[in-house]
Amino acid sequence: MTRADLIAAARGAPLLVSGGLAEPLAGHGAACLEVLNLEQPRDVRAAHAGYLAAGARVIRTNTAGASPERLDRYRMHDEAFIVSYMAAEHAVQSARISTDETGVTRWVLGVARMESRIRQLGFLPLERVESAARTMASGLAGGGVDAIVVETNQDGARLAAAFDGVRRGMSDAGRSVPVLLTLRYDALFATPHRDRVTEELAGAAAAAAGLGVAALGIANTDLADGWAATLRAVARAFPGPLMVEAAPTSRDLTAILNDPILWFRLALVGGGASPQDTKLLSERLGALQGGDEVGNLHAAAANDPAAVPARRPKGKL
């Protein structure tokens, strides 16, 4: 199996994704972790290696704060492309080394987090959303990532602008990779009625399906109905694979892993703050996949119209 088969492999069994890089890179005391892609490449690669050694099958690039608008706070707006490009190269090299050493395929997920607002302008104009997405996507795709995850809010116009930018960026790089989406709820102009929160996220998920999103996740922040309930509602609007990101001891994650519908839709599972969290999450997934729980989930899902065909038991990919 090649590294290009990320989405196909994830449909066979959930792939474990690395957690955050703030803790592994905390020793540098850097206000902007993304600058370490340029100044401390060995340490960035070492952080990735720690997650891979802990069992991560997919590692996220060090680009959570690499949008041009976020880098502008450190007078690095013009370095946005090279920051994303180098972040991708570091992660790809780490994944290749791990694959060669272990014989287990590893992948790289390029993170493109879109800013909704900036201090000087308030809400970011749509053309700047598209431009930021294009810059980051061109760097990530050019650096060799296997897929790009766009993180943005539920506003349909911003979602469309971000995806237009990502497509243009991949065209600039001469590479096309699957595009994933993490939606985060943003109240925008006022606190919404409780019923609107889940409804708006489900509407954005339906729009994402039309945009060709390969997999979808929901950030566990500012929700009205709880993470599992919200993800289940969103799953009815989005027919594709799902992904989740949480600490290994999260009660919300437990609810999702024990949900007979969501479990069989999960493609990527990750989160936490350190390789130790990834190791704990790996143990949880291994116990669930190898125990009687899977049979119970099969039975519970059999009569639910929202269920997709159950996964076949699989060994190591």
- In contact, 243 and 274? CB cutoff 8 Å: no
Domains of the chain: 3-301 (3.20.20.330)
Can you give the pLDDT at residue 291? 55
Can you give the pLDDT at residue 317? 35
List beta partners, residue 181: 150, 216
HSE-up (13 A, CA, CB side) for residue 99: 17
From first to last of its 317 residues, what are the pLDDT tens digits of the chain?
444 478 889 877 899 999 999 999 998 888 999 999 999 999 999 999 999 999 999 999 999 999 999 999 999 999 999 999 999 999 999 999 999 999 999 999 999 999 877 665 567 889 999 999 999 999 999 999 999 999 999 999 999 999 999 999 999 999 999 999 999 998 876 677 777 999 999 999 999 999 999 999 999 988 988 999 999 999 999 999 999 999 999 999 999 999 988 999 999 999 999 999 999 999 999 888 765 454 454 444 444 545 544 443 343 33
Q: Which residues contact 113 (CB under 8 A, 6 or more apart)?
A: 63, 64, 65, 66, 67, 70, 151, 152
- In contact, 209 and 142? CB cutoff 8 Å: no
Q: Which of 190, 259, 193 is nearest to 225 (CA)?
A: 193
Indicate the burial class of 267 (C-beta count within 10 angstroms; 0-12, 13-18, 19 or more): buried
Whole-number Å distance between alpha carbons of 197 and 27: 39
Can you give the pLDDT at residue 316? 36
- In contact, 151 and 182? CB cutoff 8 Å: yes
Q: In 3-state terms, what secondary structure has residue 63?
A: coil
What one-letter code names the amino acid at 82? I
- In contact, 146 and 8? CB cutoff 8 Å: no
List beta partners, residue 109: 60, 147
Site of tokens 């999260």? 250
Indicate the burial class of 60 (C-beta count within 10 angstroms; 0-12, 13-18, 19 or more): buried
Q: What dihedral angle (degrees, nearest 10) is formed by the CA atoms of 49, 53, 56, 57? A: 90
Q: What dihedral angle (degrees, nearest 10) is formed by the CA atoms of 315, 16, 162, 172? A: -70
Can you give the pLDDT at residue 194? 77
Whole-number Å distance between alpha carbons of 15 and 2: 15
Whole-number Å distance between alpha carbons of 5 and 154: 28
- Beta-sheet strands, E only, within the chain: 15-17, 58-60, 107-113, 117-118, 122-123, 147-153, 179-184, 216-218, 242-245, 266-270
Per this entry, what is the length of the chain? 317
- In contact, 297 and 264? CB cutoff 8 Å: yes
